[in-house]
Amino acid sequence: MSEQIVSIRNVSRRYPGGVTAVDDVSLDIAQNEFFALLGPSGCGKTTLLRMISGLDTPTEGQIMIGGQDMALTPPNLRPTNMVFQSYAVFPHMTVEQNVGYGLKVTGVEASEIKRRTAEALEMVKLSHLAARKPDQMSGGQRQRVALARALVKRPKVLLLDEPLSALDAKLRDGMRLELTRLQETVGITFIIVTHDQDEALSMASRIAVMDKGAIQQIATPSELYEQPRTRFVADFIGKVNLIDAAVLGQKGGKVSCLAQGLGNMEVGCEKSTGDKATIAIRPEKLKISVSEPKGAGLVKTKGTIRDVAYYGDTSHIVADIGEGLDLSINVQNNSRTGGSGVERGQKVWVHFDPADALLLTE
C-alpha cells in the first residue's frame, strides 16, 4: 500500500449531554484511494468526515493529513475540500464565480483563476453553463458545480457527503460512473460518506462500515460482502440469511456446529470463541430443487415455498424450513419461459455448499 494521506488515531467526538457521535475510531487512508464511510443514518460517518475537513473538532484523538497534525488547523487552511450534501452552491454567484471562489479568496491571480476555472468546468462538462446562476440549473448540474468548485483547489483529499442522495435514480447511476472516472483522472484521494451500500460497493476501493460511532470493519467491497466479520456487517451489506448455531467442536480450519433447522454441518472458520455462533449465507448461494439433491457434503433440508417475488432477472423466494425459520433464496431466471420454476406452497429441497456459508462468532 502506498503512502498514508489521512490517518485517524483514536478519534472520538462526544457532545455535552452524553451523546457520542464517533467513538474511538482509528483508520488510515492511502494516497489515491476511493474510500467510503458506510453506515446507517446516525452512525457518525458524517461527523467523522466533518472532523477531517475541520468543520467539527474531535474531543479526543488525532487527525493527520499528509503527515501533519490538523488539530490546530482551521478548515480554510486544510488541504481538503468538501462536496456538501445540499451542494451549498452560492446562490448569488454565477457558475464561474462559484468555481473560482476558492481561488479568489486565497489571492490567486485573476488570469490563473480564469484558466483553472475553465479547466475545472471542462472536467465536469459544464463549460457551456459558466454564466448561469445556480437557480437556473438542475440538481445534477449544481452537484457538478460543487464538484468543480472543490476540485479546482487541487486538494489532497476530496470529501463527499452523501453526494448522490438528492439525485434521481437514473442520474445517480451516471454520476457514480463519473465520480469513479474523475477520481482516476485527477488522482486525488476521495472520501465519500454514504448510507447506500450499492453506492459504496460499486465505487469505493475500500469501505469502512460504521455503526453507533464505531468502525465495524474496514475491507475491500468483495471482502466485505464475502467475508463480513460481524453480524451487523453481514446484515447491512446486501441480503443475508442469519441462522443461530451451536458450536460442537473444532478441528483444523473447520468448525462443526448444529444449526437451527439445518442440522450438523462443518463450516470453515479461523477460530471460534464460545459455543454460540451465527451462520451467514447469502440468498444467491442457496439453491432450490424439486427432487432430493445429490452430492457429497451438501447441506440440505426440506421446505415449503412461502413467497415468490418476480424481479425480471431474478426471483426472490422465501422458503419455510420448519422451526419457524424462513430462508431467502435468490434464483436467476435463466430461461425465458420457466421463471423460477416453483410456486407458492410447493414442497422443495433447499441446499447449499457449506463452503459458501460463513460462521460469525461476534
Q: Which residues bind other proteins (CB under 8 A)?
A: 53-55, 74-77, 80-82, 84-86, 88, 90-92, 101-102, 105-106, 133, 135, 146, 149-150, 153
The CB-of-117 to other proteins minimum distance in angstroms stands at 13
For other proteins, give the closer residue by CB, 52 or 331. 52
The residue written with cell numbers 419461459 in the block is 337
By DSSP bridging, strand 80-83 and strand 157-161 are parallel
- The nearest distance, CB 108 to other proteins, in angstroms, is 10
Nearest to other proteins of 186, 214 (CB atom): 186
Q: Which three cell numbers stand for residue 30?
A: 492511502
CB-nearer residue toward other proteins: 53 or 330: 53
C-alpha cell at 357: 456459508
From the number of C-beta atoms within 10 Å of its C-beta (0-12, 13-18, 19+), residue 220 rates as middle
CA distance 141 to 139: 5
Query: Least separation, in Å, of the C-beta of 78 and other proteins?
Result: 8
Question: Which lies closer to other proteins via its Cβ, residue 85 or residue 202?
Answer: 85
Nearer residue to other proteins within complex by CB, 94 or 333: 94
Q: What's at 58, amino acid-wise?
A: P
C-alpha grid cell for residue 290? 424439486
Cell of 13: 467526538
Q: Which is nearer to other proteins, 90 or 310 (CB)?
A: 90
Nearest residue (CB) to other proteins, 159 versus 203? 159
Per DSSP, the three-state class of 13 is strand
Provide the minimum distance between the beta carbon of 167 and other proteins in the complex, in angstroms, as a whole number.
Answer: 17
Nearer to other proteins, 186 or 298 (CB): 186
Comparison of 144 and 149: residue with beta carbon closer to other proteins: 149
Q: Smallest gap, in angstroms, from Cβ of residue 102 to other proteins?
A: 3
3-state secondary structure of 283: helix
Q: What angle do the packed helices 139-151 and 110-123 form, to 10 degrees?
A: 130
The residue with cell 464475502 is: 226
Residue 272 exposure: Cα atoms within 13 Å on the Cβ side: 27
Task: State which H helix or E strand residue 102 sits in.
Answer: helix 95-104
Strands 4-15 and 60-65: antiparallel
Nearer to other proteins, 102 or 213 (CB): 102
DSSP state of 129: G
Cell numbers placing 296: 457429497
Q: Indicate the residue type of 302.
A: K
Cell of 70: 490538523
The CB-of-82 to other proteins minimum distance in angstroms stands at 5
- The CA distance from 114 to 362, in Å, is 55
Question: What's the closest the beta carbon of residue 157 comes to other proteins, in angstroms?
Answer: 12
d(CA 156, CA 176): 21
Q: Shortest gap between Cβ of 136 and other proteins (angstroms)? A: 8
In whole angstroms, how far apart are CA 61 and each of 13, 49, 213?
9, 14, 14
Residue type, 217: Q
Instruction: Say how far apart CA 40 and CA 132 lie, in whole Å.
Output: 36
